[in-house]
Chain A
Amino acid sequence: MASGAGERSTEQIDDYETLISTTDVELLKGAWRNEKAAPEILPFEEALVKRAKEQIQLMEETVDDFAESGHDPLIASLYQMDLDRAQYLLRSYLRVRLQKIEKFMFYIWKRDTYRNRLSIEEEKFTERCIRDIGKHLEETVLSKLPENYQSVLKQSVISEEDDMVPEPQLDTFVVAKCEKATRPLYLDGSRQSAGFDSRDDHFQMVPGDLCILRYRPFQEELMSGNISLV
């Protein structure tokens, strides 16, 4: 669905070594950390979440079988722990996304790039959220204000932009770990430096490097899996 997720999975297939050595739990943990640390909502990891759900379901059945068949309680409890950990990760991942949606719903809804990052369920959630919050604000506050100030999105009718809509702060600083070598990058946010040759603003990481960096110039690096957030 989301283009970012597609890019990522083809890259993983290219990299066969990582594909076989990395479990879905590991991938989900990465997605969860990225989502928690990034200021904006990231593309939904549709395929990964689907696989994780299937594995969790399968494991639930196994654990139930253990309970019924009177299997060694030690083994059953170990499988249960593994299941709990995977479930926790998945739930936490989905929950972080819902929190972000609640925070930035109006912003996300108006922009296709962001809307395309949502799953179908999340889209439904956003729509309902907007409707309910809108209705609530309408009834409690806006309807009692003078006519020019009744918009959910704008301070008043003279506002040109939606200036009452919270936006993700892309200039937040995040802590990132380099997974694959990144191309040299210009830290003012542009990849091509049009007549801009200050060496200091030119930044490159090698795998394993840990950095604190401004999120905006590294957006693409994150989406393509070159860096991960910690």
Chain B
Amino acid sequence: MAGQSDPHISLFSAEEVEFMAEDELIEIVPNMRMDPLNFICGDFGPFLPQIATQVPLWLAVALKKRGKCAIRPPQWMSVENLTRVLEGERDTQGAFQALPFHYVEISRLLFDHARDDIPDMYMVRSLVEDIRDVRIHKVETSLEKFSGTSAVKIPNLSAMEVNIIRPFVGRALQAFYKHDNPEKIPDVDRAPSGHTRVANNEPRRPLRR
């Protein structure tokens, strides 16, 4: 997509998006005993063998890496559910199925670090990839329908998808807005707030002789 070519326009890096996703809660089953952890980001535990508890994803991955727990994949990550979601994505052209805002990052982290905890890992993984592809394709085709309004609702779009389309869509809508409004901005009568004139004079700074 055109918008991706300019790296420093992308607002959040992939790492930053992942960082945000790592705060999502997930269920783990510890295999050791550990006192509650009183973190800045909240209190978690106590940890008892075979007793499931909720922790942020980063903590789950850290414990998993050290062999201290098993991660329970979230409900939506089952083959049945993902198959249904994929069918739904294919059947409805305009809309997106409901998935967690960070579904791409969560599934990637789990595929990387907890493959043995995911039943039918290969199936799940290819389903997630298919869903991702179908959705991205849908995003691209639905972009054609965007027009120069000031606000567009994008229900159920995920963090990663938002991040991908943001530079392109943002600039496209801005261009629409500019072309729609050159005559609107100067005749100020309607907006008494007075700050209309200050608008965007960074790019169109007239050169004087």
Contacts and interface: CB of A to CB of B under 8 A. Distances in A.
A196 to B, nearest CB: 7
A60 B23 CA distance: 21
23 contacts: A23-B41, A29-B20, A29-B23, A33-B20, A74-B66, A77-B62, A81-B59, A85-B40, A163-B205, A170-B199, A171-B174, A173-B177, A188-B150, A189-B191, A189-B193, A189-B196, A190-B190, A210-B154, A211-B152, A211-B153, A212-B166, A214-B150, A230-B162
B58 A85 contact: yes
Contacts, number: 138
A146 to B, nearest CB: 12
Given A24-B40, A211-B154, A74 B190 contact: no
Nearest to A25: B41
A208 to B, nearest CB: 9
Interface of B: 11-12, 19-20, 22-23, 34-35, 37, 39-42, 58-59, 62-63, 66, 68, 149-157, 159, 162, 166, 169-171, 173-174, 177-178, 184, 190-193, 196, 198-202, 205-208
A119 B208 CA distance: 37
A139 to B, nearest CB: 24
Contacts of A196: 190
Interface in A65-99: 74-75, 77-79, 81-83, 85-86, 88
B159 A75 contact: no
Contacts of B178: 171
Size range of the chain A interface in the assembly: 35 or more
A207 interface: no
Contact of A78 (B19, B20, B37, B201): B37
A86 B41 contact: yes
Contacts of B207: 155
B157 A203 contact: no
Given A171-B200, A210-B153, 10 more contacts: A74-B68, A85-B40, A170-B200, A171-B178, A172-B174, A190-B190, A190-B191, A205-B153, A210-B157, A214-B173
A113 B178 CA distance: 26
A130 interface: no
B202 A167 contact: yes
A201 B173 CA distance: 15
B73 to A, nearest CB: 22
B205 to A, nearest CB: 6
The dominant DSSP class at the A interface is mixed
Contacts of B169: 173, 212
A212 B39 contact: no
Nearest to A37: B11
B179 to A, nearest CB: 12
Interface string A157-168: 011000110110
Contacts of B202: 166-167, 169
A171 B40 contact: no
B152 A79 contact: no
B56 to A, nearest CB: 9
Between A86, A166, A173, A209, the greatest number of chain B beta carbons within 10 A of the residue's beta carbon is seen for A173
B39 A82 contact: yes
B190 A188 contact: yes
B168 to A, nearest CB: 11
B150 A201 contact: yes
Interface in A174-209: 174-175, 187-190, 194-196, 200-201, 203, 205, 209
